[in-house]
Amino acid sequence: DAGVIQSPRHEVTEMGQEVTLRCKPISGHDYLFWYRQTMMRGLELLIYFNNNVPIDDSGMPEDRFSAKMPNASFSTLKIQPSEPRDSAVYFCASSISGISNQPQHFGDGTRLSIL
Amino acid sequence: LAKTTQPISMDSYEGQEVNITCSHNNIATNDYITWYQQFPSQGPRFIIQGYKTKVTNEVASLFIPADRKSSTLSLPRVSLSDTAVYYCLVGAGTASKLTFGTGTRLQVTL
């Protein structure tokens, strides 16, 4: 199995620009998660989907952040407009079912730098 | 929300057994306990998961007391390649926010 695939691996852009992060979950997994990791705040859950439907987006920091999952094999996290404080590593993860009783499989992340 | 508390860091010599304890006083009845390992520039990787008593796989053991308010990840005979950050994650229900916590940075030396 290919695992969770994220793209790009690195993104450097200027403040105010739109940023789109992409994720392909493991085939057959029903849940998809977006996380953000920083030194100050650790690993934070931003939003998660079940069967392509957003279930809990309470972790999304602001309206500048949006996430979509148009089909079972693709999801995007968009930041518009981007700000320097959005700089972080963004991870996507998927699991076969459930929140607590199934392990999550993480991608290698997108390192985002907003100048 | 089942908040977790772990030691910030631990040091060990190669070949020793390492035990990392996580406190989760507010664990709910349906919550499982999951441990992840993270290397620099990589996403967290699943190590082991349990609900009660003891679970063992090819890389680690997980000990959970009867009250389930804590859990201990045991790594037998660590090697240099086990140097990583270890996270304890306790499920918080289907509609709550998952919290990984700060993790424990394990440094293994010769």
Each residue's pLDDT tens digit, B46-79: 999 999 999 999 999 999 999 999 999 999 999 9
Count of A-B CB contacts under 8 Å: 62
pLDDT number for residue B31 = 84
Token reading at A86 = 């959005």
Distance from A14 to chain B by nearest Cα, in Å?
A: 22
Residues of chain A contacting B94 with CB distance shorter than 8 Å: 55, 98-99
* DSSP reduced 3-state for A84: helix
Which of A42, A59, A107 is facing B43, going by the closest CB pair?
A: A107
**Digit-coded pLDDT (tens) for A45-67:** 899 999 999 998 988 988 999 99
Token reading at B63 = 């000990």
Which of B49, B98, B103 is facing A99, going by the closest CB pair?
A: B98
**Poorest-pLDDT segment among A12-16, B61-65, B86-90:** B86-90
Binning pLDDT at 50, 70 and 90, where does residue B30 land?
A: confident
Q: How far is CA A67 from CA A89, B19, B27, B80, in A?
A: 16, 38, 29, 38
Q: Is the pLDDT of residue B98 over 70?
A: no
- Could you give the CA distance from residue A43 to residue A62 in angstroms, rounded to a whole number? 17
- With CB atoms and an 8 Å threshold, state whether A43 touches B87: yes
If one compares B32 and B73, the residue with the highest pLDDT of the two is B73
User: What pairs with residue A50 in β-bridges?
Assistant: A31, A53
Q: Which residue of chain B is at minimal alpha-carbon distance from A5?
A: B43
Residues of chain B contacting A59 with CB distance shorter than 8 Å: 97
Which of B42, B46, B99 is facing A108, going by the closest CB pair?
A: B42
Token reading at A81 = 């407009």
- Could you give the CA distance from residue A48 to residue A54 in angstroms, rounded to a whole number? 6
* DSSP reduced 3-state for A85: helix
